[in-house]
Structure 1
Amino acid sequence: MEQRTNPDNRADNAAHLAQHIQNTEGNIGKAKETMSNTESPTIKAQIQAKNERREAAIEGMKHELEDERQH
């Protein structure tokens, strides 16, 4: 089977990044809700750590979004 490469179409990267940011922010909110509904300190710590990683990822995506909008 012959493999074909897809053309590098970056026309909608900004829209995709904005959607990813919105989705990740929504996941943070859902995780916070879950934290408020659980008694387990272990689960709360895991959720908090994951939300911190999500927030760092959002910062990276925002910088990438700025770069995309400048081009």
Structure 2
Amino acid sequence: MEKPKPDDRSNNAERMENTIGHTLQNMNEARDFEKAHSEELSEEDKQQIEEKNQRREQSIDGLREEIKDEVNDQK
């Protein structure tokens, strides 16, 4: 029977930073898509894009708080 791998948190902050970067990129792409296709999108589609970006912003805020906690824990 294999032992579980130890919990390696040494690169947590870096992984979260990468996630933030990807999330920001997705937000920008969604905004660009909405601008480029605004005439073709329904109001419901536009609202869904905006709501998803709001959830992305909340996620980023949460990740930034986790990064602060992670840095403080490493000190």
Partner of 1:26: 25
Tell me the TM-score normalised to structure 1 length. 0.89
Partner of 2:61: 59
Distance 2:34 2:5 in 1: 42
Distance 1:29 1:17 in 2: 18
| Displacement of 1:68 | 0.7
1:50 to 1:3, Cα distance in 2 relative to 1, 3 A = farther
3-state SS of 1:5 partner: coil
3-state SS of 1:15 partner: helix
Percent identity, please: 33
Tell me the TM-score normalised to structure 2 length. 0.85
3-state SS of 1:9 partner: coil
RMSD between superposed Cα atoms in Å? 1.3
Structure 1 gaps of 5+ residues are none
Distance 1:3 1:44 in 2: 50
Partner amino acid, structure 2, of 1:23: H
1:14-60 CA-to-partner distances (Å, cap 9, x unmatched) read 10011011110111000000110222222111100000000000000
3-state SS of 1:59 partner: helix
1:37 to 1:6, Cα distance in 2 relative to 1, 3 A = same
1:70 to 1:37, Cα distance in 2 relative to 1, 3 A = same
Structure 2 gaps of 5+ residues are none
Number of residue pairs aligned between Structure 1 and Structure 2: 70
